[in-house]
A and B are shown apart, each in its own frame.
Chain A
Amino acid sequence: MTEMLAELLVPFSYNYMMKAMWVSALVGGVCAFLSAYLMLKGWSLMGDALGHSIVPGVAAAYILGAPFAIGAFLAGILASLGMNFVKQQTRLREDAVIGLVFTSLFALGLLMASLWPTSVSIQTIVLGNILAIADEDVVQVAIIAGISLVIMVFIWKDLMVTFFDESHARSIGLNTTLLKVIFFTLLSACTVAALQTVGACLVIAMVVTPGATAYLLTDRFGRLIVISVALGVSTSFVGAYISYFLDGATGGVIVVLQTLLFLVAFYLAPKHGLLAARRRRLAPTEAIT
């Protein structure tokens, strides 16, 4: 018994594991914070697009030995400019434009990785590898996530008004354009950070699933954020922990955990869950209160 307990505590005795768990938790928390807004506005796929678009930037940064965050950020800006340009010049629908631009950039990233295989590990970029994260990358991720978190704590209510009813937000003197720009900048920054923990392919889950789960559990936006962040932090921390025993695949574990919690909420949620809906159908008079 004690042997098993000792075995379970092993990850906590390694410096790199502690680092991985805390960094994952921080990134998971901020992404979950943003997810509360993203899934409400039907912009979920934007997270996916951003995650893939920044791959060539990260690859270029590694090839040139520059900080990965800078490369990723430049690629993110390039992607949004590209999408805007294509949208203005053609009559293509938004989803087509997003799909077109992000797959092109992603392909470019893959190409770069195959041309310079020694400096770029495409596996790391696509799947993430928080267990082997370099110290300077930890610093970058922690700074990005930390700053984003602080900014969000200050502006979450203003963003809520802006996304709920933009004309009212303006009538109380909020600069809604600036707020939206800040939101999307934070989103890009956090996508970059999440790249390190779960990889480009699974970034989308980090910025959608926790918010979607919380949405089923409450009608109060403040609570929704708290629940969402709690889910993001705990699944990321536990996911990193479990991945020690599975050896790698941190991103996969984190996202599987998030999905499991979503399914639980989907079934059991007090008001919006399947079970509650079924109960209401069976006892229809109860619903009229």
Chain B
Amino acid sequence: MNALIEATRIASERVPNGASISVRNLSVTYGNGFTAVHDASFELDPGSICALVGVNGSGKSTIFKAIMGFVRPSAGEVRLCGMPVDEALKKNIVAYVPQSEDVDWNFPVLVETVVMMGRYGHMNFLRMPSRADRYKVDEALERVGMSAYRDRQIGELSGGQKKRVFLARSLAQEGRIILLDEPFTGIDVKTETAIIGLLRELRASGHLMLVSTHNLGSVPDFCDRVVLLNRTVLAAGPTAGVFTQANLERAFGGVLRNFQLGGRALHDDDDTRHVTVLTDDERPLVFYGDKTRKGSDGT
């Protein structure tokens, strides 16, 4: 694990102007006076996949909104690649894969048009696609395996297919920072594996991804960093150090299901280690002794 982190750190130093997110003492208060995030700080470097983990209402989407400039911080600041948010957005640095409720599925646009929207920021003010733009759209659709669906209206897709289309859009956008708000909700294991594979490829090419998720089980599998959130940052850093049973119980309180199995209830020998299953109702996280095991689909 440490070798991997070391490797990504070295890789990140090699990427010039690499993608980075820096959240410093961020507080966000909504119009109704509710402070959803208080004094949150974390730093992320290029070539990394970071999980944003916390209970419902812990402020994950709020953090995304602050990074996108949708809500103004009441204190603190967000900087992307060293720039203020507005400037970074103008330079097409950030791509955003929305939580699916935020999109109008009845809108009469085709899959290929949605992906082409990723290119708009690179076009002149008339938004006339060039041959290069079309090529990048084809390529992005190909990479997520959605080429066959390019002429479908966007609402005529399954949930997983929609997610893949929006991922293709962020590929076409060529943003070095990609924000994914719960990309795995309502998605089967096959699609999830495919998406994770793609995220890994992007990490290898120096992208920075911030992923909010309730799939605790797959976090250690593909995220090299974790930010644990509950209205403020409880812990942030390399997965191995942060994603511990103690921290998770702190982040989730009583919400998390926690099963402990061990000793003779589980096997016939005198092995004293316990199996701890932590689940936020999606893929469970399994601790065996103090080793982390990948979850097995919640079954």
Residues of A within 8 A of B (CB): 40-41, 154, 157-158, 160-161, 163-168, 170-173, 215, 218-221, 224
Contacts and interface: CB of A to CB of B under 8 A. Distances in A.
A160 B98 CA distance: 17
Contact of B108 (A165, A170, A220): A220
Contacts of A163: 104, 107
Contact of A171 (B68, B106, B153): B68
Contacts of A168: 96, 98, 117-118, 169
Contact of B104 (A164, A173, A218): A164
10 contacts: A40-B107, A157-B120, A163-B107, A164-B109, A165-B102, A165-B103, A170-B70, A171-B96, A171-B173, A218-B108
A218 B151 CA distance: 12
B107 A221 contact: yes
B91 interface: yes
Number of chain B interface residues as a range? 20 to 34
Contact of A220 (B110, B120, B121): B110
B120 A161 contact: yes
Nearest to A223: B108
Contacts of B110: 219-220
Interface string B63-93: 0000011100000000000000000011110
B233 interface: no
A173 B102 contact: no
Contacts of A218: 108
A224 B98 contact: no
B94 A40 contact: no
A237 B239 CA distance: 67
A158 B109 contact: no
A168 B179 CA distance: 11
B23 interface: no
B108 A215 contact: yes
A173 B84 CA distance: 13
B125 interface: yes
Nearest to B90: A173
Contacts of A220: 108-110, 113
Interface in B108-133: 108-110, 113-114, 117-118, 120-121, 125-127
Nearest to B153: A219
B89 A172 contact: yes
Q: Identify the 9 closest CB pairs spanning chains A and B, nearest first.
A: A172-B121, A173-B90, A219-B153, A157-B127, A171-B96, A173-B89, A164-B107, A219-B108, A221-B109
Contacts of B169: 168
B95 interface: yes
A168 B103 CA distance: 10
A40 B104 contact: yes
Given A154-B125, A165-B102, A220-B113, A170 B69 contact: yes
Contacts of A170: 68-70, 89
B54 interface: no
Given A165-B98, A165-B103, A220-B113, A172 B153 contact: no
Contacts of B47: none
Given A167-B96, A220-B108, 14 more contacts: A40-B108, A41-B104, A154-B126, A158-B120, A164-B107, A165-B104, A165-B117, A168-B98, A168-B117, A168-B118, A170-B69, A170-B70, A170-B89, A220-B110
